[in-house]
Amino acid sequence: MKKKRYSFIVMLFVMAITLIGSGCQQKTTVERAPLIPMEDFFRNPEKTAYQISPDGKYFSFMAPYESRLNIFVQAVDGSDSAVRVTSETERDIAGYFWGNNNRLLFLKDSGGDENYSLYGVDKDGANMKDLTEFPDVRTLIIDDLRDIDDEVIVGLNKRDPRVFDPYRLNIETGELTMLAQNPGNIQYWLTDHEGKLRVAVAIDGGVNTTLLYRKTEDEEFKPILQTNFKDELNPYFFTFDNEKLYAVSNLGRDKKAPVIFNPETAEVEDVLYENDQFDVEGLSYSRKRNVLTTASYVSWKRERHFFDEEARMLFERLERDLGDYEVAITDMNKEETRFIVRTYSDRSRGSYYFYDKESDELKKIADVSPWIDEDNMAKMLPIQYQSRDSLTIHGYLTLPKGYDLETAQNLPVVVNPHGGPWARDSWGFNPEVQFLANRGYAVLQMNFRGSTGYGKKFWEMSFGQWGLSMQDDITDGVKWLINKGIADPDRVAIYGGSYGGYATLAGMTFTPDLYAAGVDYVGVSNLFTFMNTIPPYWKPMLDMFYEMVGNPQTDSLRLRQTSPVFHADKIKAPLFIAQGANDPRVNKDESDQMVEALRNRGVEVQYMVKDNEGHGFRNEENRFDFYGAMEQFLAEHIGDKEE
């Protein structure tokens, strides 16, 4: 009889809840979930990104057309069938929104270069217009101006590739009007509730942050507050009289909290809510009623604090019927009577619902991926463990279905550090994790030092620590799983994208005996060349990057010590590298030089390059190629063994 062994994911969960394991290696036969086709995890959703027109009469959504995500529109009352309004065949549409009741706006780039252009199209598919299609120019949405029918405010770096100037754009005619000229250091612009551009945030070399303000658009911007980039006051939106600012700040505190900031006095007047464990970063309001509604933060799941009783009652009503899942309101009409509701969980991509507040009607309108049976998916368990310097590291452990903490022993494990690195893993449906769990691997995800959401001190502890204590946090999680008996020490692999790809290479070079295989997806290999090839619009923040990562001149010894490409001779285990040829963030040379260094030393390395991709593979067929190759690679090196 073929017996399955699994070691990594259960161990992490046991560690987090500090259970005392016996360390026994008892063999257990488990009932496995059926093997699900790889394509089911990574194919485009059936329908997704639902929005509602401002007048509440039409749904819009994205769905595949010739294997690319395009925009469709359908009447809410079901009186007609859905109309496809775009016909993109080269690449998925990157994102879209309603410009007014008749017109939708969408962004797309070319081959993953991230130079997004904005296009407009009527809800019946007519009157398609290129609005910001300029060579090598990137478009940012500054304000969708929901209360002004024919205009939006965009940022364009067409005058200077390093900085974005704000423009008022007529979405019918394409007319652009520059609202201000970026002096070279402004990274963020903010409008008031009348669509007037009144706040800017400048970063001088990335080290000092200056908040600029003007009372009217006729005045010049004036600096009102300067802080180090580590001390944040991030303005979110104006108070409803357009006099003060709702902001999120960590000034004088470790954890971010929502505050009211007076730009006339440059003082925080009130702290609205605070949490002593986690950063509070989400802040929402009602445009119709002019009230603050919720603040949100992420513990192991997203949690809300309500400022407004009506908002609380709305969520309670939705959770009454949908409470087995996480519930999010993703869009609403201008009158705030009709809502798009999204559900999800760790085992389900979820569904979209339509809620009519006036009739109290709640109806499902689509499942995102109806071919996914959540009963065959694995649970994502919150865990925590102690680093070697006694820091608490939070994370998640996903065990293959059929295993629990009692039966998970000696499992093959895939360690999956997140990208960023100044980001975090969160609870929810992750197709990569579920795919790996379905193939019998335990998956360990950890929010190593520097991960966001845990306060200023935890974030700052990552500065200058690529390949050092940040990597130690990952290593300590692996050893914790092994010590608990969950992980088979001979069958641990590491896989990650972007910074997670760097962590993969660092793990393979700096702890070569720990991993049996590695998969690097668009990861950094050389910190010198990485810093020299960042996109031009990151260059105003270069001094900040130097402080957070390292200065190639003054920190050259450390950067050489922590650049995996210079230590390729230490790698003992097989490696698979995947890269997009047009990646603007992690240049293809990062992967090329690592592959060359390995092959020159006779180390086994499998290399996949996609010429029509950038920082991660967006096109469906490329995802299939990558995950299919990764499946075979992991099966060969850490897969199940015959007994």
Task: Reply yes or no on whether 305 is catalytic.
Answer: no
Judge whether 538 and 203 are in contact, CB under 8 Å: no
Task: Reply yes or no on whether 351 is catalytic.
Answer: no
In angstroms, the CA 426 to CA 300 distance is: 7
- In angstroms, how far is the first alpha carbon of the chain from the final one? 8
In angstroms, the CA 419 to CA 569 distance is: 25
* Residue type (1 letter), 359: S
Question: Can you spell out the DSSP letters for 205-270?
Answer: TTTEEEEEE-SSTTSPPEEEEEEETTS-EEEEEE-TTSSSEEEEE-TTSSS-EEEEEETTTTEEEE
Query: Residue 319: which region, alpha, beta or left (left: phi > 0; alpha: psi -120 to 50)?
Result: alpha
Q: Are strands 48-52 and 58-65 parallel, antiparallel or unpaired?
A: antiparallel
DSSP 595: H
Q: How far is CA 626 from CA 131, 500, 576, 591, 621, in A?
A: 34, 16, 10, 15, 9
Task: Convert 407-430 to b/e letters by CB count within 10 Å (16 or more is b).
Answer: bbbbbbbbbbbbbbbebbbbbbbb
- Give the Cβ contact number of residue 572 at 10 Å: 12
In angstroms, the CA 105 to CA 120 distance is: 4
Kindly name the residue from 451, 498, 563, 591 that is annotated as catalytic. 498
In angstroms, the CA 231 to CA 185 distance is: 18
Judge whether 369 and 349 are in contact, CB under 8 Å: yes
In angstroms, the CA 150 to CA 261 distance is: 31
In angstroms, the CA 506 to CA 455 distance is: 26
Contacts of 429 (CB under 8 A, 6+ apart): 344, 345, 346, 347, 348, 349, 350, 377
Alpha-helical runs (H) found in 5-108: 9-16, 38-42
260 backbone dihedrals φ, ψ, rounded to 5°: -105, 125
Task: Reply yes or no on whether 77 is catalytic.
Answer: no
Q: Among 404, 479, 419, 415, which residue's Cα sits nearest to residue 443? A: 415
Question: Can you spell out the DSSP letters for 365-413?
Answer: EEES-TT--GGGSPPEEEEEEE-TTS-EEEEEEEPPTT--TTT--BEEE
Place of tokens 């690449």: 91
Judge whether 469 and 510 are in contact, CB under 8 Å: no
Which residues is 120 bridged to in the sheet? Answer: 105, 129
Provide the token pair at 88.
């993109």
Judge whether 536 and 568 are in contact, CB under 8 Å: no
Burial class (CB in 10 A: 0-12, 13-18, 19+), 360: exposed
In angstroms, the CA 236 to CA 401 distance is: 42
Provide the token pair at 364.
């499902």
- Residues marked as catalytic: 498, 583, 615
